[in-house]
Structure formats: structure tokens, C-alpha cells
Amino acid sequence: MAAMNRFERWMVNRRTEARARRVLAAVGPHVPASAASQVLELGSGRGGLLALIQERYRPARLVGTDFDPVQVVAARAFLTERWGKIPPTLELQAADALRLPFPDRSFDLVFAMMMLHHVEERHLEYVRRPEALREIRRVLRPGGTFVYSEIFRRAEIRDSLTELGLVRRFLRSGWRHDLAVFQAPSR
């Protein structure tokens, strides 16, 4: 996985908040977030979804990660401009989705919006995505929820999540992408 070039960053970051609003509107009824939740977003980009999660749920802990350190800097700047300062419950850091720097069962809720294909050398491959999905499963608490959207290899992702023991709670599968909510078993 490599850092993105300027054009790729522009593509990822354009209309990010509008997309995030649509995502939360669609998955909201299926996302059991509360003020006690520990929430992780993988591939936060400039932080549009992070801002909305913070404003909507005010979780006890919200961690935004991106493999690209330039994106982490952009998110920090965006969120600081939006609120004047970043809330103490919100953390930003560079992290590799293939080796998440968090203990097992750390999060109640994990978001990965249009980022899973970025773990591959070539976006259409399905070589490293299972490893990233295992890492996501590892950091999810029992009963935890995984929310994702993806454009490539969608059926394989759903199959991998089912093999990892997660249960589908919501799926909107269109011609462009999947938006899905999967839940880990309670024990």
C-alpha cells in the first residue's frame, strides 16, 4: 500500500462530507453508537466522516486513521478549522489497515468507507483485503459493528466477512458500490 498522489487525494477528498451524510443517513438505524462507544475509522482522508460521527454520536473515543500521513495532516487541519480545536476524545494517526496498532477487541464500531481496495497493489486484486478484514475483525469487540462501502470485489468481501463470523445487518448493493453493516457475534 502506498501513499496517494495529489490527484488521488483530490478524488478521495472531494465531496467527502456530502457522501458521509448520505452514508450515516442510510446506515444510522443499523449502527448502535452511543456516547460510550469506541469508534475507529480507517482511511479517514480529510476527516469529513469523522466530523459527522463526532457531531452525531459524541463517542467516548473516536480514532481516525489513514495510511497516508499527508491525509492525517489534512484531517487535523480540517477538524481544527471546523471546531477551533480537536476534541480530546478524537485521535488522528497514520496506520496501516493490514497491521492495526490497537489491541484485540478495542472498538465497538469500525468504519471503512471506500478504502479496502487501497490495501492492494492493484485495486482489482483480492490478495491483501482478507488480511485487512481479519485485522478489522480482531479489533472489533464482541457484538461490535463494521460499516463499509466498497466498489471492487464486493461479493468476495461479503463472503470473507461471513467466514470471519460476522453477520450482515444491512446491505445496499448498487451498480456502483456496496454499503454494508456487519456485526460480530456477541461472544
Delimit the domains of the chain by residue range. Answer: 6-24+34-183
Tens-digit pLDDT string for the chain (187 aa): 556 566 555 455 555 778 888 889 999 999 989 999 999 999 999 999 999 999 999 999 999 999 999 999 999 999 999 999 999 999 999 999 999 999 999 999 999 999 999 999 888 889 999 999 999 999 999 999 999 999 999 999 999 999 999 999 999 998 889 999 999 999 8
pLDDT score for 121: 87
DSSP label of 121: S
pLDDT score for 7: 53
Q: Where are the beta strands (DSSP E) in 43-106?
A: 61-66, 90-94
Contacts of 68 (CB under 8 A, 6+ apart): 3, 4, 9, 94
pLDDT score for 3: 61
Give the phi and the psi of residue 185 in degrees, each rounded to 5.
-60, 155
Cα gap 34→185, rounded to integer Å: 19
- Confidence (pTM): 0.91
Q: Are 12 and 4 in contact (CB under 8 A)?
A: yes
Cα gap 54→51, rounded to integer Å: 5
pLDDT score for 123: 84
CATH, domain range 6-24+34-183: 3.40.50.150
